[in-house]
């Protein structure tokens, strides 16, 4: 038996014995930022672990198609990457990794420039292949690249919910404003959530959020909601250096407790079902839900 056949048989076996999902619909959240260095990948992975600790199944997609980060951050050894899937050498089932806290991870490729220039057909196939895996999970969290590049816009517009990670630095706020401006004006995004990371206290966090929210709501006419904040915590740097997830290794740390609170808020604040233009994960499922909701209201 070859490796790929064995992997598929093991996956089918796990699916048959898996418990019933708490949620009937997979929630797709992209976690993004206007600039690098704000802790976006750290926030994504640990949010996933926190959601898993609540009893939900979580799949994390490393969507930085040219500079993989999630597997490096967690010291995981990929058997293959999205590059292998796009080349037809492996199936997506073959490359899914088991991460800390029972989360699953789809690793990206690193240093593969051609992935930045995917044609529409390849993007659609990639979307369908990820969706085929993701339907088994309660949550799909997408760790996007930073900035306003085409990859960033593609994955943010394909997600049902967009979460922006910022810190208190002026450049973080201005770059996130630029990101929201492009997503709202070009891709029709009207709702955003915000997590403030690596700040001294709650007052600094709320001040940063309010500064961004005032500009966004005044000039862009979109809605932003505050998901919470993550304090500066020396344990975070320690975990980054050790390639560990803080929510799994130090669940009682200040940062982990804050992330757990954000996870509960994410889970409690389920947004209204929305359909967007262009490619979108679970478009058919969302379309059916929207039609059902309209019929029920008649």
CA dihedral 116, 79, 56, 179 (to 10 degrees): -20
Q: Please, what are the averages of pLDDT over each run of 10 residues along the chain (298 residues)?
A: 45 44 81 94 97 97 84 92 84 94 90 63 82 93 91 88 96 97 92 96 97 95 95 95 96 97 94 65 59 50
Secondary structure (DSSP) of 64-76: -TTB--HHHHTT-
The first and second tokens of residue 190, run together, are 């009207």
**Cβ-count burial of 230 within 10 angstroms (0-12 exposed, 13-18 middle, 19+ buried)?**
buried
Q: CA–CA separation, 43 vs 167, rounded Å? A: 12
How many other β-carbons are positioned within 10 Å of the β-carbon of residue 113? Answer: 9
Question: Which H helix or E strand runs over 201?
Answer: none
Domain coordinates of the chain in residue numbers?
26-288
pLDDT of residue 7: 42
- Report yes or no: 70 and 105 within 8 Å, Cβ to Cβ: yes
Q: Please indicate, yes or no, whether the overall pTM of this predicted structure exceeds 0.75.
A: yes
pLDDT of residue 88: 84
pLDDT of residue 101: 96
Q: Is the dihedral of CA 179, 185, 186, 187 positive or negative?
A: positive
CATH number of 26-288: 3.40.50.300
pLDDT of residue 169: 96
- Report yes or no: 60 and 173 within 8 Å, Cβ to Cβ: no
pLDDT of residue 181: 96
């Amino acid at each position: 038996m070859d490796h790929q056949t064995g992997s598929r048989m093991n996956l089918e076996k796990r699916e048959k014995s898996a418990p019933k999902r708490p949620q009937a619909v997979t929630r797709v959240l992209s976690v993004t930022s206007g600039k690098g260095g704000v802790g976006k990948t750290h926030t994504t992975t640990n949010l996933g672990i926190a959601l898993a600790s609540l009893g939900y199944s979580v799949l994390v997609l490393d969507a930085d198609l040219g500079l993989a980060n999630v597997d490096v951050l967690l010291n995981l050894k990929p058997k293959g990457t999205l590059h292998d899937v796009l080349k037809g050498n492996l199936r997506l089932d073959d490359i899914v990794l088991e991460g800390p806290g029972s989360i699953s991870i789809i690793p990206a490729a690193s240093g593969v420039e051609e992935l930045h220039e995917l044609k529409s057909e390849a993007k659609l196939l990639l979307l369908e292949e990820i969706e085929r895996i993701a339907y088994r999970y309660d949550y799909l969290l997408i760790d996007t690249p930073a900035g306003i590049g085409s990859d960033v816009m593609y994955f943010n517009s394909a997600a049902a919910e967009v979460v922006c990670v910022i810190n208190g630095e002026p450049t973080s706020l201005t770059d996130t404003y630029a990101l929201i401006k492009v997503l709202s004006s070009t891709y029709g995004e009207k709702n955003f959530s915000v997590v403030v990371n690596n700040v001294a206290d709650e007052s600094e966090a709320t001040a940063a959020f309010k500064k961004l929210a005032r500009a966004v709501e005044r000039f862009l006419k979109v809605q932003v909601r505050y998901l919470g904040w993550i304090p500066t915590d020396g344990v975070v740097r320690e975990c980054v250096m050790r390639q560990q997830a803080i929510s799994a290794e130090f669940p009682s740390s200040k940062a982990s407790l804050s992330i757990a609170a954000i996870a509960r808020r994410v889970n409690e604040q389920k947004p209204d079902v929305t359909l967007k233009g262009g490619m979108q994960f679970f478009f058919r499922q969302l379309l059916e839900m929207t039609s059902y909701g309209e019929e029920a209201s008649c």
